[in-house]
Amino acid sequence: MLVSLHVKNLALMEEAEVEFGAGLNILSGETGAGKSIIIGSINLALGEKVPREMLREQAEYALVELIFRVENEEQRKLLAEMDIFPENDEIIMSRKITASRSVGKINSETVSASCMKKAAALLIDIHGQHEHQSLLHKKKHLEILDEYGKEQLEGKKKVLKQRYQEYQSIKEEMQRALTEGEGRERELSFLEYEIQEIESANLVPGEDEELEISYRKMANHRKIMEAAGTAYEMTGGDGSATELIGRALRELQTVTGYDSSLEGMEGQLEEIDSLLNDFNRELSGYISGEEFDEETFSAAEKRLDEINHLKDKFGGSLEAVLQAKEERQLKYSRLKDYEEYMAGLETRLAKAEEALKKVSSEVSKIRKKYAKKLTKQIREALIDLNFLDVEFDMEFQETKDYTANGMDEAEFLISTNPGEPMKPLGRVASGGELSRIMLAIKTILAESDQIETLIFDEIDTGISGRTAQMVAEKMNVIGRNHQVICITHLPQIAAMADYHFLISKNVINNVTISNISLLDENESVTELGRMLGGVKITDKVMESAHEMKELARTVKKSQK
């Protein structure tokens, strides 16, 4: 669960620290007090994009830090697969933001935003203010179903994606073949010319490198001979290094009998004399053995030109040229035996389609099985949320063509009045109804996913009265098995809080600052009074606030 949130220099928040508890955590406050900053800061810490305006005016940097306690073994296992390991059962996720960049860290180790998002998805589920609007799109309905049934669907969908890619690859190859077939004779002639051009060169792998070395040596033959000749003169003959070292050795030999310490140096000089004589003989042999042949040089130059021309034309290396020949030979064979090749493609396509159809059917069967379970659970949850005579189902249709997701097109259907036919969810549900439907779905997915922390940002949009009370009771039920953090403007929901936080806005030295504080029992009742009464909080309003709090206590006891 989310243990604490630390925010610094973010929008109206100068610095704030919140310690959340288990169960239902409620955040309330007047409009504009900064409630959205809390959700925004959590989103930032979890890898979302950073709007420039989020950085507090005049501040050098902003910081958001979240501490999670991880006790669920399944979560530990999934985090370990990402090389993330809790320390003392805790994971610290932070984001430091400056005007030019932001740095995300998990347990003090710098990570990418995508890594933070992936890790966060295992720990927390955030329902934003407008997320329920996504239920207006059919695509979202299938995503919800697949998420619900992922235990059986995940492996099958990987196979489905692979089969679809194989099928598409053969279709694309067939399309290319049809295009190639249109100018078949001309293409065959051109391919034959290019294959012959490469084959006639009789290329040998590595030949170009050997030729380059040989050519460079022949091109610089005169320079090499001049340098070798000069070196030979300096090391052999009159006045050379060999003569001088020989004389020096003879001089030493005349006096080593008088001083034994010179014997070592005499030995060294003998070795130098011997090495220099050996070098001189070797260099002499090299000079006498080296001959420049104009015909050989010309042939090497011509061969290099031929090889380099082919390299320039077919890919830049000898390996690329030989590869180009193989590709052209394959293409030539295809076009030469075009009818046979097309028949082979059609056979392969039929097999690929059969395999794709089979796995698509298997995926569809699993989806339909889970759809019955999911819609039944959603209907039960909706009844808890004051949809008294609701019917809820899922309708399947086949897509015109195969997709990476199979051939299923699915859509939620709903009827909220007795005797009324079920219609597509997106066409009949109001904003408030969509909000409650998404609450029901989130609750069910959280159970199957074992996500510990759920955050709801004004899930109560468009509801009031008895419905608000039932949403509050549902929130309390969810809070028994999950940590729930909820921003609300409804007193019925706030009254159910296990922990009630107030977000307030103050002006200090002409600077607006938002603060967040945990309310005690009496302060919570006072805040309920403000939520009930608005500007003028009368004794009657406070009496209603006390009554609402007492009613919430009674409900919480009955739901245990």
State how far the Cα of 154 lies from the Cα of 136, in Å rounded to an integer: 25
**Could you write out the DSSP letters of every residue in 352-363?**
HHHHHHHHHHHH
What is d(CA 224, CA 51) in angstroms, rounded to the nearest whole number? 68
Distance between CA atoms of residues 80 and 392, nearest Å: 39
As a whole number of angstroms, the distance between CA 414 and CA 428 comes to 8
| Vertex 399: Cα angle to 392 and 178 (nearest 5) | 170
247, two tokens: 């004389």
Over 90: is that where the pLDDT of 511 sits? no
Q: What is the pLDDT confidence band of residue 237, given thresholds at 50, 70 and 90? A: low
Higher pLDDT, 71 or 397: 397
At residue 32, the pLDDT reads: 67
Q: What is the pLDDT of residues 303-318, one digit of tens each?
A: 888 888 898 888 888 8
| Percentage of the chain lying above the pLDDT 70 cut | 95
Tell which residue, 302, 329, 324, has the closest CA to residue 313.
Answer: 324
**Where residue 535 falls among pLDDT bands split at 50, 70, 90?**
low
- pLDDT over threshold 80, residue 462: no
Kindly tell me if the per-residue pLDDT of 293 is higher than 90.
no
Contact 69, 77 (CB under 8 A): no
Contact 556, 479 (CB under 8 A): no
User: When comparing pLDDT for 338 and 253, which is higher?
Assistant: 253
Residue 25 forms beta bridges with which residues? Answer: 485, 499
Question: pLDDT tens, 72-127?
Answer: 888 888 899 999 999 889 999 998 888 788 898 999 899 988 888 888 888 888 77
Q: Is the pLDDT of residue 179 over 80?
A: no
Q: How many other C-beta atoms lie within 10 A of the C-beta of residue 359?
A: 19
pLDDT at 523: 92
Using one digit for the tens of pLDDT, what is the confidence trace for 343-397?
A: 888 999 999 999 999 999 999 999 999 999 999 999 998 988 888 889 999 999 9
Between vectors from CA 121 to CA 116 and to CA 123, what angle results, nearest 5°? 95
What tens digit of pLDDT does each residue of 403-417 get?
A: 999 999 999 999 988
Q: Encoding tokens for residue 17?
A: 């620290």
Q: Read off the tokens for 343.
A: 């028949």
Sign of torsion, CA 271 277 283 289?
A: negative
Tell me the per-residue pLDDT of 426-443, one tens digit each, with 9 for 90 and over. 787 677 778 888 888 888
H/E run at residue 267: helix 263-289
8 A C-beta contact, residue 370 and residue 145 = yes
Token pair recorded at residue 88: 């003392």
Question: At what angle are helices 113-123 and 73-80 packed, to 10 degrees?
Answer: 160
User: In this prediction, what percent of the chain has a pLDDT beyond 90?
Assistant: 27
**Strand pairing category for 24-28 and 483-487:** parallel
pTM across the whole model: 0.65
Q: Print burial letters for 248-275: b (CB count within 10 Å at least 16), e (below 16).
A: eeeebeeeeeeeeeeeeeeeebeeebee
Spatial separation of the C-alpha atoms in residues 2 and 22, rounded to whole Å:
9
- The DSSP line for 71-99 is --HHHHHHHHTTT---BTTEEEEEEEE-S
Residue whose entry in the numeric block shows the structure tokens 């070098």? 279
CA distance 543 to 157: 57
Q: Report whether 26 contacts 519 (CB < 8 A).
A: no
Residue 128 pLDDT grade (very low, low, confident, very high; cuts 50, 70, 90)? low
> What tokens appear for 51 in the block?
């709007």
Chain segment 26-41, per-residue pLDDT in tens: 998 887 666 777 888 8
pLDDT (mean) for 275-279: 88
Nearest residue to 484 via CA among 9, 4, 25: 25
List alpha helices for 130-262, DSSP H. 138-148, 150-182, 184-199, 207-219, 221-235, 241-253
For residue 324, give the nearest of 452, 152, 169, 199 by alpha carbon: 199
Mention every residue, 6+ apart, whose C-beta is less than 8 A from residue 99: 52, 55
pLDDT for 475: 85
Q: Give the pLDDT confidence score for residue 138 in this predicted structure.
A: 85
**Where does the pLDDT of residue 130 fall: very low under 50, low under 70, confident under 90, or very high at 90 and above?**
low
